[in-house]
Structure formats: C-alpha cells, structure tokens
Amino acid sequence: MLSSPQRIEFQALVKPFVRLLNNTAFRLTRSNLEAEDLLQETFYKSLKSFNTYERNTNFKAWIFRIMTNMYITHYRKTVKRPQKFSNDESTNYAHVLSIELSGKKFNSFNPDFEVFEDEVKSALEKIPYYFRLVVLLTDVEEFSYQDISTILNIPVDTLMARLYRGRSLLRSKIYNYDRNAGYLSN
C-alpha cells in the first residue's frame, strides 16, 4: 500500500476529477449501481498502482485510461457470459477514499445530463460502446485527441475513424427520430 505522503498526493491529484469520473462512469454504464462499482474499482486500482504513475505527466489521462480499460474488460466479460457478482476488498478501499475526498459519504450518483435532450441520450446509448466511448470522451468530456489516444491506447487515426463513425451513427439515429416524430419532411 501507499505511504501517507503518497496517499495525500494521490488524493490531491484525483480530487478535481471525481465529478468528471462519476459522470463518465454513468454515461458508460448507464446504471447508477454499475457506475458506482466502476468508480470504486477505478479508485481502488489507481490507488493500488499509483507507484506506476509518472509524476508531472497527465494524471487525468492516466486515471481515465484505468477506468476505460476496466469498463472495456467488464463489458467484454459480460458479453461473453452471464452477469457475475463478486464482493472483494476494492469496495472498502474505494469507500474510504471517496469519504476522504468528498468529506462526506458518497451515497449515489447524481448524473448531470441536463445538456442532453432525451432523444440524444437515447440515441447515444444505442451506438456500440467503442464508438460511444470515443464520442463521450471527445464531445462531452472534451478530452484532446492525444489524451483519448493515450486513454484508449489506440492510434489517433483509429480514434478519428471511430469518432467519425460514432458521430455518423448518432446523427443517423437522431435524424430517424426527428423524421419519425414529424420534425423533418421526407
């Protein structure tokens, strides 16, 4: 485990991103409980591997890469086999960390989705996760292409192709909704 100064350093680095991590976890999982689990696991894993973080580099990209990798791994596992529950020690560490970061208990996720209309949210949820992830990180969380490339561990060209395809899919879903709702003619 980390020494006390390292733990303090970790908390100082992660504190500005807690809300952003919350929102992203919810947008990825589309479930309060799964978002909380993903966030707790992210805190646990990043705290546990903080020794590997290179000081004076992009901490935001580092911790988002951990969260994204955990989400992708979990998504692939749930696609391959039925849902499985586990009760490990990560919950306790994340709970302690969230209390220390916020000064109060982190009860439930309160998504800040006011920027999206219901139709856009619904359309976004219907596109495949690897496109949705790129669109969310680019257009909602406003990461740079280089940061997203680092987070997802993919070349910028691949990122841009996925972003183009994700936006196209999103656009077509919104267009179909608008046409079916009578907002568009033909």
**Residue 172 CB contacts under 8 Å (≥ 6 apart), including other chains:** none
Angle at which helices 156-180 and 145-152 cross, to 10° = 100
Which residue intervals of the chain bear CATH 1.10.10.10? Answer: 113-186
The torsion angles phi and psi of 131, rounded to 5 degrees, stand at -80, -45
pLDDT tens figures, 148-168: 988 888 999 999 999 999 999
Residue 87 pLDDT greater than 90, yes or no = no
pLDDT tens figures, 101-123: 444 333 334 344 343 456 777 77
Which candidate, 126, 137, 141, 125, places its Cα nearest to that of 162? 137
**Is the CATH number 1.10.10.10 carried by domain 113-186?**
yes
**Which pTM was predicted?**
0.58
The torsion angles phi and psi of 127, rounded to 5 degrees, stand at -90, 150
